């Protein structure tokens, strides 16, 4: 393990020309282009980034290719032939599949976990809730609408609260509701299964290859929806992708029992101001460790535990204490993982996970010894899901930017409205159908983070859900008409969404477009 101090010392020997600009990792993406340096100028200030300065290594440096072998060609059994296959059963994939199934398309969801829900299911939320945009006074005065609204109401059983206001409870309800709603829509599921490649004829996608305990299998489809979160299907299909391989703001949720709730709230969550000396120590050693001072400093200087760690010189590990969400007897925490890697790098993720588990466990031992009210704390749950805010996305036919959001951009092919939780722009920002359409490949749509270049906060959960309904609707219409998603009539999409109760745009905007 490389210490923060050691990494900083190494940086002192580097000149400006030694910096590695974030960009494409040769082993990970065949068609990626550099998304540019990630700075606070082009990433919203609600995203996290490494606070340790420039790290001396990249996750890509872990790769040590020993050569290549040819994989023998062999026949792969086709286990299904569907209209629409959804790769990924997370937030956006669930809604996409329900929308497709309700329109009569034969639909299949492929999910690597044993349950659905993504960061709202096995991910246990980790942070935030569902409707950050509700801080915007103009957003959804009548509720979210459409399939997302129906889904969320069932998750909270019509209680007057937001999804995610009780992390543990809601994260168990989301997979249940998702499974039931998919079954009701006639959608089939293939769990514990990873998508590994695509079936393609020229520039047209015709299905996917998957692997599970049964081995390699093939699924034919008239339309594929990439809901992998890192545009894996688009990348493998040869579509150009945008790679942002730095500070992906990853993390894992974990919960603690045995906490003295009142003392935890007083000493940690709402701790008194630090002394000037401790403030300086935090700034120099552990930027996110303020809530655990002065005990973090004591343990660090005693050589027992470091509240901030560096993984092999390319990633940083920190821990944040979160406010109670639901059960006050559970102390919510999450790791914060940033650095010079991207969330599609399997070797880098493995190395991070290896150190992260020990980091979490030793953090609890630190609490037991040093932190008042945590003497009897123990781990009650650790999410198996590694969440990320940034990563690889498609180079879409139109990529929305921060300038579009600030300017309240308008597009004739609007399919839903984005309301920013910090910039209150009248009428919000139109999200065009073209944002879901990758360049260079037919028969493919992307939804969720796979279609969202990091910058504007499009990855907010309500936005991912709305985009899912759009993707499922377009895919079903494309399969029905026998055309590529890029050739589906936009007005037909808009009217179908409105008929399903989706919030496409304010009524004044719909009238302006002649849709209603």
Q: How would you classify residue 249: left for phi > 0, otherwise alpha for psi between -120 and 50, otherwise beta?
A: left
Higher pLDDT pick, 19 / 450: 450
Output the domain CATH number for residue 415.
3.50.50.60
pTM of the model: 0.88
Q: Give phi and psi for 418, each to the nearest 5.
A: -100, 125
pLDDT at 435 over 70: yes
Query: In the predicted model, what is the mean pLDDT of residues 204-222?
Result: 97
Query: In the predicted model, what is the mean pLDDT of residues 32-41?
Result: 36
* Parallel/antiparallel/unpaired status of strands 32-34 and 241-243: parallel
Q: How confident is the model at residue 22 (pLDDT cuts 50, 70, 90)?
A: very low
Residue 391: name the closest of 20, 25, 19, 89 by CA.
Answer: 25
In-domain check, residue 464: yes
The whole-angstrom separation of Cα 58 and Cα 223 is 36
Q: How many independent structural domains does the chain possess? A: 2
Residue numbers of the domain that contains 232: 78-245+391-513
In-domain check, residue 72: no
Higher pLDDT pick, 291 / 225: 225
* Parallel/antiparallel/unpaired status of strands 204-212 and 309-311: unpaired
The beta-strand segments (E) located in 428-469 are 429-432, 444-446
Mean pLDDT is lowest, of 52-61, 346-355, 379-388, 487-496, for 52-61
What DSSP string describes 211-225? EETTEEEEEEEEEEE
Looking at the fold, whether 312 and 447 belong to one and the same domain comes out as no
Looking at the fold, whether 241 and 94 belong to one and the same domain comes out as yes
Looking at the fold, whether 377 and 336 belong to one and the same domain comes out as yes
Give the pLDDT confidence score for residue 454 in this predicted structure. 72
Query: In the predicted model, what is the mean pLDDT of residues 492-512?
Result: 93
């Amino acid at each position: 393990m490389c210490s923060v101090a050691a990494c900083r010392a190494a940086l002192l020997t580097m000149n400006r020309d030694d910096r590695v600009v974030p960009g494409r990792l040769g082993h990970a993406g065949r068609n990626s282009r550099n998304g540019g340096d990630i700075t606070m100028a082009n990433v919203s200030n609600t995203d996290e980034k490494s606070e340790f300065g420039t790290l001396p290594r990249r996750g890509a440096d872990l790769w040590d290719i020993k050569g290549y072998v040819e994989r023998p060609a062999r026949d792969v059994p086709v286990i299904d032939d569907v209209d629409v296959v959804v790769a990924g059963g997370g937030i956006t994939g669930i809604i996409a599949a329900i929308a497709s199934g309700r329109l009569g398309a034969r639909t299949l969801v492929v999910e690597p976990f044993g349950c659905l829900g993504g960061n709202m299911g096995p991910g246990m939320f980790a942070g935030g809730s569902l409707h950050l945009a509700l801080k915007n006074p103009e957003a959804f005065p009548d509720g979210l609408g459409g399939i997302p609204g129906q889904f969320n109401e069932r998750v909270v059983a019509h209680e007057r609260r937001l999804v995610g206001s009780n992390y543990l409870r809601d994260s168990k309800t989301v997979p249940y509701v998702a499974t039931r709603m998919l079954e009701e829509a006639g959608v089939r599921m293939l769990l514990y299964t990873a998508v590994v490649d695509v079936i393609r004829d020229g520039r047209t996608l015709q299905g996917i290859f998957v692997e599970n305990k049964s081995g390699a299998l093939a699924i034919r489809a008239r339309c594929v929806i990439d809901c992998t979160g890192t545009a894996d299907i688009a990348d493998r299909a040869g579509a150009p992708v945008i790679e942002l391989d730095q500070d992906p703001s990853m993390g894992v949720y974990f919960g603690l029992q045995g906490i003295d709730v009142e003392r935890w709230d007083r000493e940690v969550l709402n701790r008194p101001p630090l002394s000037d000396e401790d403030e300086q120590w935090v700034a120099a050693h552990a930027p996110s460790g303020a809530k655990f001072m002065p005990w973090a400093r004591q343990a660090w200087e005693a050589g027992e535990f470091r509240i901030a760690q560096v993984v092999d010189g390319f990633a940083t590990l920190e821990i944040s204490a979160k406010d109670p969400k639901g059960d006050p007897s559970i102390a919510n925490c999450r790791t914060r993982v940033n650095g010079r890697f991207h969330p599609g790098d399997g070797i880098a993720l493995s190395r991070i996970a290896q150190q992260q588990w020990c980091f979490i466990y030793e953090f609890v031992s630190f609490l037991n010894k040093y932190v008042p009210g945590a003497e009897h704390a123990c781990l009650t749950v650790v999410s198996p899901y590694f969440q990320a805010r940034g990563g690889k996305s498609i180079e879409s036919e139109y990529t929305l930017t921060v300038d579009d959001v600030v300017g309240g951009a308008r597009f004739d092919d609007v399919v839903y409205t984005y309301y920013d939780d910090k910039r209150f722009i009248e009428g919000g920002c139109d999200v065009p159908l073209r944002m879901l359409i990758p360049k260079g490949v037919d028969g493919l749509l992307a939804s969720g983070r796979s279609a969202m270049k990091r910058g504007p906060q499009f990855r907010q959960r309500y936005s991912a859900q709305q985009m899912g309904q759009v993707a499922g609707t377009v895919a079903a219409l494309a399969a029905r008409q026998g055309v590529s998603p890029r050739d589906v009539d936009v007005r037909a999409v808009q009217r179908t969404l409105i008929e399903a109760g989706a919030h496409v745009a304010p009524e004044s905007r719909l009238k302006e477009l002649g849709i209603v």
